[in-house]
Amino acid sequence: MGSLDETCASLRAQIIATEAQLAGLKRDLANAEQAAQSATAPTAEIQHKDQNGEGRRWPLLQEEYKRYGRQMIVSQVGLEGQLKLRSARVLLVGAGGLGCPAAQYLAGAGIGTIGLIDGDTVEVSNLHRQVLHRTKNVGKYKVDSAIESLKELNPHPTYIAHRTHLTPEAAPAVFQDYDLILDCTDNPATRYLISDTAVLLGKPLVSASALRTEGQLMVLNNPPRAPGDKTGGPCYRCVFPKPPPADSVVSCADGGILGPVVGTMGVLQALEAIKVITAPEIDGARPRDPPSLHIFSAYSSPLVRTIRLRSRRANCAVCSAEATVTLDTIKSGSMDYVFFCGSTNLPSLLGPEERISAREYNERHLSDSSQLRTIIDVRDEAQFGICSLENSINIPISNILSSGYTSGLQGTDNGQQAAKVPSWLPSEVASSESTNPIYVVCRLGNDSQIAVKKMKELGLDQHGKRFIGDIRGGLRSWKEQVDPSWPEY
């Protein structure tokens, strides 16, 4: 048995090493392709000039008339709008669930230059919603994978890959080469950075977000005006002057996402971008829709609700006359977006004596199966239904956190009298006579810590007589330390 275990462990190690080597080779290939593309840039520039219609009777190529014909006969676009699209330079920050469908429709519409900035590589878990990526491109930079698909869709646009995460130091230099910005990211710090930079450089911004079955969409800084000009469109800070608490921010990895939901929001971003670019000028100015927040909910009726937004805030930190955020404060780092939004890394809330590793828990109770204990899984019901530890009890953390405080067990003249206990706790677990340990587990080992603290505040540890602790690292560590076949989602 030991020999077989060693063989399995060796094979797993070889697979991990090979996958890492493959990912490295894909990155090397991407760098080589970028160098080759740079070497052929002069030729591409000549071709682009030809596409602009120099020396030809008609402003578009024959193939372009065929490709964009159904679009140009729409009265809001026409030939003039198509030429605006071809001369437009659009940057998408993020090549994931929002960026993929947005880029796909912008490329299809004939945007002249499309830039993609993202430092992540393609993972299998991306493929159900990030529709430009393919299984063969797992491990490849997302921007390269996306551009590969976009070129197959439409070879006419110029595609620019920025293989890096957006940073405050680099953002102004990247943004200045584009006319319009699409925020396709999923974290507050980057959203504020994108909005601030767009306002200070005079770029309209189309911002969207999606989580679970809901999404939001806004067109910001439209029309773009200098800070202090009240006729400009509101920015992200005008709508959300303060970021949400860091511990309330849920990512797609933790909260889940329905593919068509994020796809819908990405398509709507592309639509709004096309509307901004092709808007006709009247008396030297482009008309604009009133600033609005569009809220999409897949399981509601109606699907979309619209909330009118106010104009720029008089005390906005970036777009008002009292602005304190400037390009210098962004590039110098004095505007610390991570600090402003709060740390996204949950600190350890429990002491070492309150935590146990997955391996230790398994070994302890595998060797002594007669020892009674309770294991509470605080994930939601949907996640619990995907996979769960044997004999675990599902009590979502939302139920635990909504409980009121109790004083635990009270001494009386007649002995022990149990105080009121939460309705979600099984009676056999809540029994004052039981001192069996309680272990709490979640997906990653964060919610379990919060649940343990709450349960102790409710007095369920019987003033220290009963062990209540969590499995460190959650079910992800269970897969790593105990059961490699455990589903990873």
Spell out the domains of the chain, with CATH numbers in brackets: 62-281+289-332 (3.40.50.720), 352-404+421-482 (3.40.250.10)
Residue 362 is labelled as binding a ligand: no
Catalytically active residues are 252, 442
Instruction: Quote the pTM value.
Output: 0.79
Residue 254 is labelled as binding a ligand: no
Residue 180 is labelled as binding a ligand: no
pLDDT of residue 272: 98
pLDDT per residue, tens digit, the chain (489 aa), is 567 767 776 777 677 767 766 766 766 676 666 666 555 444 444 344 455 555 578 899 999 999 999 999 999 999 999 999 999 999 999 999 999 999 999 999 999 999 999 999 999 999 999 999 999 999 999 999 999 999 999 999 999 999 999 999 999 999 999 999 999 999 999 999 999 999 999 999 999 999 999 999 999 999 999 999 999 999 999 999 999 887 677 777 778 899 999 999 999 999 999 999 999 877 666 667 899 999 999 999 999 999 999 999 999 999 999 999 999 999 999 999 999 998 555 567 899 999 999 999 999 877 666 678 899 999 999 999 999 999 999 999 999 988 764 444 444 444 444 456 788 888 777 776 778 899 999 999 999 999 999 999 988 888 888 999 999 999 999 999 999 999 999
pLDDT of residue 131: 97
Residue 97 is labelled as binding a ligand: yes
Cα separation of 134 and 142, whole Å?
A: 10
Phi, psi of 169, rounded to the nearest 5 degrees: -65, -35
Residue 66 is labelled as binding a ligand: no
Residue 427 is labelled as binding a ligand: no
pLDDT of residue 155: 97
pLDDT of residue 343: 59
